[in-house]
Amino acid sequence: MRLLSRKATCNTHGQDSSYFLGWEEYEKNPYDKVKNPNGIIQMGLAENQLSFDLLESWLAKNPDVSGFKRDGKSIFRELALFQDYHGLPLFKKALVDFMAEIRGNKVTFDPNHMVLTAGATSANETLMFCVAEEGDAFLLPTPYYPGFDRDLKWRTGVEIVPIQCTSSNNFRITESALEQAYQDARKRNLRVKGVLVTNPSNPLGTTLSRNEFDLLVDFIKDKETMHLISDEIYSGTVFSSPSFVSVMEILKEMTPNDAAKIWNRVHVVYSLSKDLGLPGFRVGAIYSENDAVVAAATKMSSFGLVSSQTQYLLAAMLSDNKFTKKYISENQKRLRRRQRMLVTGLQKAGIKCLKSNAGLFCWVDMRHLLCSNTFEAEMELWKKIVYQVGLNISPGSSCHCSEPGWFRVCFANMSQDTLNVAMKRVKNFVTDSTGAECGSSSACFTKSFSNWVFRLSSRDHRAPEER
Amino acid sequence: MLSRKASKDSHGQDSSYFQGWQEYEKNSYHPIQNPMGIIQMGLAENQLSFDLLESWLRRNSNTMALKKDGVSAFKDLALFQDYHGLPAFKEALVNFMTSMRGNKIKYSSDKLVLTAGATAANEILMFCLTDPGQAFILPTPYYPGFDRDLKWRTGAEIIPMHCSSSNGFRITRCALEQAYQLGQELNLKIKGVLVTNPSNPLGTTMTKTELNHLLDFAIDKNIHIVSDEIYSGTVFDSSSTTSFTSIMEVLNERNNNNYNNIRNHVHMVYSLSKDLGLPGFRVGMIYSNNEKVIAAATKMSSFALVSSQTQFLLSNLLSDAKFIKKYMVENQRRLKRRKDMLVRGLRKAGISCLRSNAGLFCWVDMRHLLSSDSFEAEKELWKRIVCEVGLNISPGSSCHCSQPGWFRICFANISEDALHLAMHRMKAFTNSIFSVRLPIIMMRKKSF
């Protein structure tokens, strides 16, 4: 009899992908302006490090909150004991208000329809457990966040079937791609339980268009057991037009007849990890008008509750409307500036990005640098960029992109200086390598890479949690 | 439209364990606002030693402000989501566990996985050790939450191993074999045994003999042992016969036996929810020598990480060895005092408890108050105690006890005054039963 479960011994946690392997290289040789100026610059981490000063200054002005005090009195005991999976009411109220604010107050959310979870990682998995059986499938537009392979599939037994999007129309979801995915699932004898989109998209950095929404709504409208999950974790990072449209807004705009068909099959996932840059605090949420989903997810959240200490701190912060308004706008300004820097820097190296208006990264077109239009060539190029150029970026294949040559490059997790250094390195690399590199160095890279891969796949990865 | 998991009541939350809560919520006792209300004695919380923690916090306000040596750690903590956990916190935890358990074993942080509470830890272990449909043996009575935590999303099964009052509900080799047999008959593959030590709801610690029986059994059947030691810091009576022995200690004593794989089959769960009284902070953990389990559980902890803000605060608290030592001693002293109060109070009402040395509750024998030796009679009695006497206690059936008439009564989640009042009410209740027993039985049948 096998000692451990299949789940414990299989690879469905997906952590052998290159997405995580690049990390290891970075960890061995991390860039430091002073101590290691030739090290690898981390550009594979979708973190928002641009606005901590704003948070820190708020904390400094509100010391009582971290001190477990309310109106001068200690509430430590109350918080220490608070493990109600319905969540701290004050926090849920503050969170729904914050979410409404991000959406320009075009929609409002009811705290009673919200479930708190330890991060969006937990929220997404919990939703799968609620709406799908083992062996069911969800359709996801590619490219998508590599972590979904673990979060949606691993312990739930749910399958992901890709909706293949291509550069020919800027990776927008098309009706034919949706249909194709649906047929692919049917061919594999999989029952499709719905579609999961990330809006704004990771790794594209674009927001869903109204046309895409129409397609999605049409797709699930008459299929009565199908759900639409919208992971809106990057909703607060929209820094330029077109403005963000949440799926909840789409619902609101629908005719009552149409809305009635789908309102209880649409669910939103959110988190404070990207907008506020607080991934360590583990704050995620599921929002749904479907009472049964909320009820089940609430009980399941027992397996991943948010620390009451953290709920209290953030309740106070997010209730400060003056602060949140200022924060949202200033944060977006800084993100926009940084994205411009990256786009311009890459432009100078003759590299184009997908036009984007959100996120903490750009979707970068390096097809013209490939030796051949293949994923092997993409891997070769990626290795060069990691080892030669010294930038850890994410290859499109790790995001299940159907076309080789695209890379996700993050811009909000390092200082401006570091970004400048990275851009200089890219420019030098492109200027130096005029195509003569193809084939000659790839052999030695393949050798070192395969040893490295072999080493890595046989032991635990120190990969941090991130998107 | 939804999954079976979402639609069924397999979450186990319709048991009386939770129903008593609802009654309490509708009519909660308050010394001034509602002195006739229901006193909550179904909540295994440790509310006795907050003053000690609060005073530490006042002396260490920098920790709460996320400052270390005057420098703000906010940014680093805000970004810290490494599922390997904050190294300083894990170090502090293993040192805490080592010293708390009498330095008999040195725990190491690379065998530890942090999870958002023991609830998450137990579920993760099930995901690692069982495929859907496989089973774990659990001695009864056991914590009602296990029906949800171990089975709901994992698809694992629980095979109850019935312990009885005839031997103080101790685990016997014979009972283990019987449970295993039952598993065979039901065509269920048994992957292990899960024990809670100290026991919830019994409040007793497992003896070395029991632990060795357990190990022998696991070796013989080549299965796992999960030892949930969440109450290990609540042991308040430590004579040589009644002190706490961790399964890891007994396992260690067998180190020289290398021809079985038992070292890789023993896993421990712990949490700060009971000892430190911090259930809201969601701090649990898995401890195991099995590298594969640690590797898999670490990745699974992604779904239940501990807030870095909380890891930071508690790593500082636990690192204050002087304070923690004082805290544990004083906390245990207060627990013992409260338990003695409960036991005495019940005795005055003619009710005895299972002799216990740990936990936040007593396992109370009310068999003599039953109108018949049946679970229906237990339910009747329970309803009376909740509604008439005004005490929310947990009936043994909600803990899967095989014998009717036992109840779990908590003593550490209410004030001393409330406890006195509860005892007063119990005495009045039993007096009324014993003085006019027959007519009451007839009246009871009528009203229900």
Q: What pLDDT score was predicted for residue B240?
A: 54
Higher pLDDT, A13 or B190: B190
Among all residues of chain A, which has the CA nearest to that of B189? A1
Q: Which CATH superfamily is domain B4-48+325-441 in?
A: Aspartate Aminotransferase, domain 1 (3.90.1150.10)
Whether pLDDT at B111 is above 90 = yes
Among all residues of chain A, which has the CA nearest to that of B413? A81
Nearest CA to CA, how far is B62 from chain A (Å)? Answer: 9
Q: Which of B288, B285, B281 is nearest to B312 (CA)?
A: B281
Q: What pLDDT score was predicted for residue B71?
A: 87
Asked if B191 contacts B134 with a C-beta cutoff of 8 angstroms, the reply is: yes
- Least-confidence region, from A172-176, A296-300, A302-306, B1-5: B1-5
CATH 3.40.640.10 spans which residues of chain B?
A: 54-63+72-323
Instruction: Give tens-digit pLDDT for A72-90.
Output: 889 999 999 999 999 999 9
Which candidate from B64, B81, B280 shows the least CB-CB separation from A466?
A: B81
The percentage of chain A sitting over the pLDDT mark of 70, rounded to a whole number, equals: 90
Higher pLDDT, A373 or A431: A373
Q: What pLDDT score was predicted for residue B133?
A: 94
Record: contact B282-A55, CB cut-off 8 A: no
Q: Which of A183, A190, A264, A193 is nearest to A226 (CA)?
A: A193
d(CA B324, CA B320): 6
Question: Domain residue spans in chain A?
Answer: 4-51+331-430, 68-322
Q: What pLDDT score was predicted for residue A438?
A: 60
Q: Which of B154, B126, B120, B158 is nearest to B140 (CA)?
A: B158
Instruction: Give tens-digit pLDDT for B328-387.
Output: 999 999 999 999 999 999 999 999 999 999 999 999 999 999 999 999 999 999 999 999
Torsion angle of the four alpha carbons B117, B121, B123, B124, in this order, in degrees rounded to the nearest 10? 130
Domain A68-322 -> CATH class: alpha beta
Looking at beta carbons, which residues of chain A come within 8 Å of B66? 59, 66
**CATH architecture designation of domain A4-51+331-430:** Alpha-Beta Complex (3.90)
d(CA B29, CA B422): 11
Instruction: Give tens-digit pLDDT for B348-362.
Output: 999 999 999 999 999
Q: What pLDDT score was predicted for residue B16?
A: 62
Query: Which is it for strands B190-196 and B135-140: parallel, antiparallel or unpaired?
Result: parallel
Tell me the pTM.
Answer: 0.93
Peptide bond connecting A143 to the previous residue in cis, omega within 30 degrees of 0: yes
Record: contact A81-B295, CB cut-off 8 A: no
Which candidate from A297, A307, A462 shows the least CB-CB separation from B84?
A: A462
Note if B228 is an active site residue: yes
Looking at beta carbons, which residues of chain B come within 8 Å of A313? 309
Looking at beta carbons, which residues of chain A come within 8 Å of B120? 303-304
Instruction: Give tens-digit pLDDT for A343-358.
Output: 999 999 999 999 999 9
d(CA B94, CA B99): 9
Instruction: Give tens-digit pLDDT for B130-152.
Output: 999 999 999 999 999 999 999 99
> What phi, psi does B385 have (nearest 5°)?
-65, -40
ipTM score: 0.93
Looking at beta carbons, which residues of chain B come within 8 Å of A47? 79
Among all residues of chain A, which has the CA nearest to that of B126? A5
CATH 3.90.1150.10 spans which residues of chain B?
A: 4-48+325-441
Count chain A–chain B contacts defined by CB atoms under 8 A.
229
Q: Could you please report the per-residue DSSP string of A334-364? A: HHHHHHHHHHHHHHHTT-EE---SSSSEEEE
Note if B409 is an active site residue: no
Q: What pLDDT score was predicted for residue B238?
A: 67
**CATH architecture designation of domain B54-63+72-323:** 3-Layer(aba) Sandwich (3.40)
Instruction: Give tens-digit pLDDT for B421-434.
Output: 999 999 999 999 87
CA distances from B301 to A151, A459, B294 (A): 11, 17, 10
Mean per-residue pLDDT over chain A, rounded: 91
Q: What pLDDT score was predicted for residue A439?
A: 52
Report helix, strand or coil for B67. Answer: strand
Asked if A275 contacts A330 with a C-beta cutoff of 8 angstroms, the reply is: no
Instruction: Give tens-digit pLDDT for B263-282.
Output: 999 999 999 999 999 999 99
Nearest CA to CA, how far is B141 from chain A (Å)? Answer: 22
Record: contact A464-B83, CB cut-off 8 A: yes
Q: What is the phi-psi region of residue A119: left when phi exceeds 0, alpha when psi lies from -120 to 50, beta otherwise?
A: left
Active-site residue identified among B39, B230, B324, B409: B230
Report helix, strand or coil for A141. Answer: strand
Instruction: Give tens-digit pLDDT for A193-232.
Output: 999 999 999 999 999 999 999 999 999 999 999 999 999 9
Tokens of A200: 């704004």
Q: What pLDDT score was predicted for residue A464?
A: 41
Whether pLDDT at B241 is above 90 = no
Record: contact B280-A15, CB cut-off 8 A: no
Instruction: Give tens-digit pLDDT for B200-224.
Output: 999 999 999 999 999 999 999 999 9
Q: What pLDDT score was predicted for residue B234?
A: 94
Peptide bond connecting A200 to the previous residue in cis, omega within 30 degrees of 0: yes
d(CA A432, CA B396): 77
Of chain B residues 307-326, which have a CB less than 8 A from chain A?
A: 307-310, 313
Q: What pLDDT score was predicted for residue B1?
A: 82
Q: What pLDDT score was predicted for residue B438?
A: 53
Among all residues of chain B, which has the CA nearest to that of A225? B1
Record: contact B292-A9, CB cut-off 8 A: yes
Q: What residues contact residue A344 under an 8 Å CB cut-off, 6+ apart?
A: none
Q: What pLDDT score was predicted for residue B65?
A: 84
CA distances from B26 to A78, B22, B332 (A): 20, 6, 33
Among all residues of chain B, which has the CA nearest to that of A265? B1
The burial class, CB within 10 Å (0-12 / 13-18 / 19+), for A361 is buried
Record: contact B2-A56, CB cut-off 8 A: no
The burial class, CB within 10 Å (0-12 / 13-18 / 19+), for A125 is buried
Record: contact A52-B66, CB cut-off 8 A: no
